């Protein structure tokens, strides 16, 4: 089976939710979290910061949980993709 056919088989099994998809989402959230941390640090330097800092801390904590969930999805998808590739390669070797 050609590489394109292998990738097509993976896409049929996983759909659009491949490891790369989860990785892109995770990286986008990591960038947003970094921005929130910068805003939080700036707010902490202000006189009137209590509510803003608490709000940003909650947002950062929520985003951190989302990032971890995306990291897990990415790892699972990558494992499935690799398993499909290995299975197809083994099958091809058995046919030769």
The pLDDT, as a whole number, for residue 16 is 76
- Within the chain, residue ranges assigned H as helices are 3-14, 19-44, 50-95
pTM above 0.85, yes or no: no
Please indicate, yes or no, if residue 32 is contained in any of the structural domains: yes
Confirm whether 38 is domain-assigned: yes
Structural domain boundaries enclosing 79: 3-7+21-95
* Structure token digits, residue 13: 């099994």
pLDDT digits (tens, 9 = 90+) for 3-35: 778 788 888 878 878 999 999 999 999 999 999
Domain count within the chain: 1
Report if residue 85 sits inside a domain.
yes
pLDDT in tens, 38-86: 999 988 888 666 888 899 999 999 999 999 999 999 999 999 999 988 8
Q: What is the DSSP letter of 16?
A: T
The Cα–Cα gap between 60 and 52 comes to 12
Is 52 domain-assigned? yes
């Amino acid at each position: 089976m050609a590489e394109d056919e292998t990738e097509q088989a993976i896409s049929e099994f996983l759909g659009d939710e491949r490891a790369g998809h989860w990785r892109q989402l995770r990286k986008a959230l990591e960038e947003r979290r970094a921005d929130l941390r910068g805003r939080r640090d700036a707010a902490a330097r202000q006189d009137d910061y209590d509510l803003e800092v608490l709000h940003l801390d909650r947002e950062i904590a929520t985003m951190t949980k989302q990032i971890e969930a995306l990291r897990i999805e990415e790892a699972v998808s990558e494992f499935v993709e690799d398993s499909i590739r290995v299975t197809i390669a083994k099958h091809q070797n058995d046919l030769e």
